[in-house]
Chains A and B, each alone.
Chain A
């Protein structure tokens, strides 16, 4: 027997009923099952063998799909930093600066979220769920690089409790937990999550021409101030070549830690689709909805933002990241297969509508997904109803 198993066996009586720490049994079990697949077997009746997959493996698959976004994000935070202060730097020093800024956010997100989760599991005596493996990484990746760490912690605790645990824990929530954290910051600390937080400057001084405006802010500003097209405003941005289509697709632009690269999000999408963990229907229909809405606005053409070529909508802001990792959350998304098409499509449409029409919120994907989270049960209701109606039609009584 493995020495770790021996250790666990030795301490097990402390956590069992009547033991000194019986209240913390769920923590003991949670740790043991992370190290060892448990020895549970199938029952007397029912299936005698089980599929090799479990929720832990599903979740870790999503985390792995996010790794390209995380690694790119670390580099990009450093890259933007040196661009803004007008220095050229080596690949490694960009990684160094980025890692120092990003990894603490990841650590704080996991630490705050897992402690909240563990505390609630102990209080309510239910097993530790693996959902937070994904949520922890998601929260870190949608934070601006300049975010104060205490805000990360606060938002995380808020989201885990209010968006998830009050509904009954993993699998019961209505809203996407990570997006709730982001929305909390957005409304509670608006000054800290807008303006020039998208680039990490630190103690250095940015060059004179520097502006931290994101592509969405530039596009919106052009529409409001009415000078020229969005594309020409992109071309005149202080950093040359920043907002070309190609560069925005690759993701070397200011923005939240992990959301800037459409390419990396698509690599994640590929992993999710091949492993069949994420719904390709949702991913595809979000992109389709956004693009079609962009085309619709092109036809309408009331201001410069509306006239921006539709395909630019797919690479600016967090649309790709949201489509791939947020919209596909199976718990808060539509649960029926037909519903997934509608759900994704409406997210795409709403994202672009919020971006272009709503003056208060430059980025639409967060609110679009949260809004559709709320509407997903309604969509499902009608899909389920049509299934019931088909059955009713052939009833003989």
Chain B
């Protein structure tokens, strides 16, 4: 039943600025935002509110015209103060000015024993309306799951192996009941198994290892061992026509609270990490919260980059920007927009490299914590090196051929080479180590969009 999977390939990016194990309250910030751009599948967002409207936490704010049952809800109560649009009136952010005390939109509540008899239809209905449905992400394509379909299995990666990733022992502390309830609901959504994949190398919270009615698998290895796509590939791979749903443990606890407490609880513990943070630690925060309060007077220099998420898959945000839906980490690193005399040939111990080309000495010191800036360390070039991407992608996939198929927009090749099995996070390490500096995650998303839209 339970499997142990040992992955040999991969690479850990060891950065300075790991969060200390304590949780602080920086005080709720004034503004929050819902960003449709957090969801790659949202192409035609429709607003349900206008500027000036009052909303409660859990009030539907927008939906996508293509998947109109899935409602995206406000994380807090307050007033819609701005609807920010970009080029071609693309909806970028819906900003909310928060109340001092959060008022919740209420849903039906269940006791843990009621949940067992809850029907699948009622569960799905409440999840769609309650704002928690976007936690369910389907493979292929890494987009919000379609409530009308039934997946062959549901996969949960119970550890995050990204650089400076938060620890679920802290971010989900005290949420055992909610997690258990969420898992109970989740089991109704598939005819197959729910897989909880825990780390074989670290301490796992008891709520994962002692979960009932699910298959628990152990995964060991370097990053990307914690990526759910890699885990699926080794446990129950996706072929053509297969459908698998994924969710992270935070999302499960959020679902649990929707049913136990009847509310959309968007509060989350967020790790503030990175070499430029004076005091890296965990903060009480919310989905869509401004990072303003936690970074205030807490940054070492003024020329830094704020990232919602981690350095591999995150997104640059402003100093008063907002935490994205799927993130529970904020990283702050130095900007690298300066020239360096003979920087391409000088021997260096300060730049981290997967490679060992002349003068790159980081391989001699694997345990050092590196301070990396945002410089690309070189210009974009044609693909030249071969056989390197394979070393950081522990899947039976030939990444270079897949990328070339995407660039050539060859649908049959994309499918044959495994585009159903991977999403951006799985090729992020390939992008990091790429000596030709391609935007591989962007290329992959372009290919996935081609597959979706035909």
Interface assignment of A52: CB less than 8 Å from any CB of chain B: yes
Total A-B residue pairs with C-beta atoms closer than 8 Å? Answer: 223
Across the two chains, which residue of chain A brings its CB closest to B344? A56
| CB atoms of A171 and B382 under 8 A apart | yes
- Give the Cβ gap from A323 to chain B, nearest Cβ, in Å: 17
Across the two chains, which residue of chain B brings its CB closest to A128? B379
| CB atoms of B376 and A50 under 8 A apart | yes
Given A39-B337, A52-B351, A52-B377, CB of A57 within 8 Å of CB of B357: yes
Given A127-B379, A337-B390, CB of A51 within 8 Å of CB of B355: yes
| CB atoms of A57 and B383 under 8 A apart | no
Q: What are the interface flags for B16-53 relative to A under an 8 Å C-beta threshold, 1 for contact and 0 otherwise?
A: 00000000000000000000000000000000000000
Interface assignment of A17: CB less than 8 Å from any CB of chain B: no
Give Cα A216 to B112, complex, Å: 85
Which applies to chain B's interface (DSSP): helix, strand, loop or mixed?
loop
Residues in B303-360 with C-beta less than 8 Å from chain A: 305, 307, 311-316, 331, 333, 335-345, 348, 351-360
| CB atoms of B381 and A396 under 8 A apart | no
- Interface size in chain B (residues, C-beta < 8 A): 76
Q: Please, which residues of chain A bring their CB within 8 A of the CB of B352?
A: 51-52
Interface assignment of A333: CB less than 8 Å from any CB of chain B: yes
| CB atoms of B441 and A47 under 8 A apart | yes
Give Cα A331 to B372, complex, Å: 30
| CB atoms of B342 and A36 under 8 A apart | yes
Q: Please, which residues of chain B bring their CB within 8 A of the CB of A92?
A: none
| CB atoms of B355 and A41 under 8 A apart | no
Across the two chains, which residue of chain A brings its CB closest to B342? A35
Give Cα A2 to B341, complex, Å: 9
| CB atoms of B436 and A276 under 8 A apart | no
| CB atoms of B359 and A57 under 8 A apart | yes
- Give the Cβ gap from A246 to chain B, nearest Cβ, in Å: 31
Interface assignment of B375: CB less than 8 Å from any CB of chain A: yes
Q: Please, which residues of chain B bring their CB within 8 A of the CB of A58?
A: 355, 357, 384-385, 435
| CB atoms of A46 and B378 under 8 A apart | no
| CB atoms of A37 and B384 under 8 A apart | no
Interface assignment of A172: CB less than 8 Å from any CB of chain B: yes
Residues in A341-386 with C-beta less than 8 Å from chain B: 384
| Listed stretches A112-120, A184-192, A258-266, A387-395; interface member | A387-395
Interface assignment of B398: CB less than 8 Å from any CB of chain A: yes
Q: Please, which residues of chain A bring their CB within 8 A of the CB of B356?
A: 274-277
- Give the Cβ gap from B265 to chain A, nearest Cβ, in Å: 28
| CB atoms of B387 and A340 under 8 A apart | yes
Interface assignment of B433: CB less than 8 Å from any CB of chain A: yes
| CB atoms of A47 and B241 under 8 A apart | no
Q: Please, which residues of chain A bring their CB within 8 A of the CB of B348?
A: 52
Task: Spell out A's residues near B (CB within 8 Å).
Answer: 2, 5, 33, 35-58, 60-61, 64, 127, 129, 131, 168-172, 271, 274-277, 279, 330-331, 333-337, 340, 384, 387-388, 390-392, 394-397
Task: Spell out B's residues near A (CB within 8 Å).
Answer: 13, 237, 239-242, 305, 307, 311-316, 331, 333, 335-345, 348, 351-360, 362, 372-379, 381-387, 390, 396-398, 400-401, 416-418, 424, 428, 431-437, 439-442
Q: Can you report 12 residue pairs joining A to B where beta carbons are below 8 Å apart? A: A36-B340, A48-B331, A48-B333, A50-B376, A50-B432, A53-B378, A57-B359, A58-B385, A172-B382, A276-B356, A277-B357, A384-B417
